[in-house]
A and B are shown apart, each in its own frame.
Chain A
């Protein structure tokens, strides 16, 4: 006899949540990254970071590798913005193409994604896939329930 539908779904969801080498918990951002690596075969590794530079999800299992990619990618974006950005325009995405491979960085809605690809990738396609992933991750972050503020609760009690 087969398992109930709910149990089957539960197994499926658990598998989906763990098949990415995410080192941190937000499952939805990790799912967006998993979809990215599934769609784009040229992307070898990718990291999603928030506005403060904290890693939200990564396809790299080891923390030093994740940190290295995130830090270098954000430094790249910052250096490019400080050198070429002006009051009217800012760097939205970039590609640094090396002989060994390429580094892509894109940002949108308070999140940024840093990706490493094989050499000579199809830049346009990779950037499109990264932006799609970033949009899905930003959506997941917005839907994430925010923790209740204790201060607000105290005020309510005081008012009562």
Chain B
């Protein structure tokens, strides 16, 4: 049981931390009419002008 718990923490911990870190990051997600989508992280050069426009709306 202790081994199982250790394994869960070992696998789930980094995943949880990564998800939390990503949730806190600014990003832009675009969805197209053909079903495709693009995600721009905040360090992508194309994301900055879009994030600046979004900031104006908040």
Which residues of A approach B to under 8 Å, CB–CB?
68-69, 72-73, 75-76, 79-80, 83-85, 88-103, 114, 116, 120, 123, 127
User: B29, B30, B34, B56: which contacts A97 (Cβ < 8 A)?
Assistant: B29
Besides A80-B30, A116-B58, A127-B31, 7 other A-B contacts (C-beta < 8 A): A75-B56, A79-B53, A83-B46, A91-B31, A98-B26, A99-B24, A99-B26
Cβ distance A106 to chain B, nearest Cβ, rounded Å: 9
Which residues of A are found within 8 Å of B23, using beta-carbon distances?
Answer: 120
Considering the chains assembled together, what is the distance between the CA atoms of A89 and B25 in angstroms? 27
Question: Is B56 touching A68 in the complex (CB atoms < 8 A)?
Answer: yes
- The number of chain B residues touching the other chain, given as a range, is 20 to 34
Which residues of B approach A to under 8 Å, CB–CB?
23-34, 36, 38, 46, 49-51, 53-58
Question: Is A94 touching B53 in the complex (CB atoms < 8 A)?
Answer: no
Which residues of B are found within 8 Å of A72, using beta-carbon distances?
Answer: 53-54, 56-57
Question: Is B58 touching A103 in the complex (CB atoms < 8 A)?
Answer: yes
Question: Is A97 touching B33 in the complex (CB atoms < 8 A)?
Answer: no
| Residue of B27, B38, B56 most packed against chain A (CB within 10 A) | B56
Considering the chains assembled together, what is the distance between the CA atoms of A100 and B56 in angstroms? 12
Which residues of A are found within 8 Å of B56, using beta-carbon distances?
Answer: 68, 72, 75
Q: Can you give 11 contacting A-B residue pairs, CB < 8 Å?
A: A72-B54, A75-B53, A76-B54, A80-B30, A84-B46, A88-B34, A89-B32, A89-B36, A90-B32, A90-B33, A98-B51
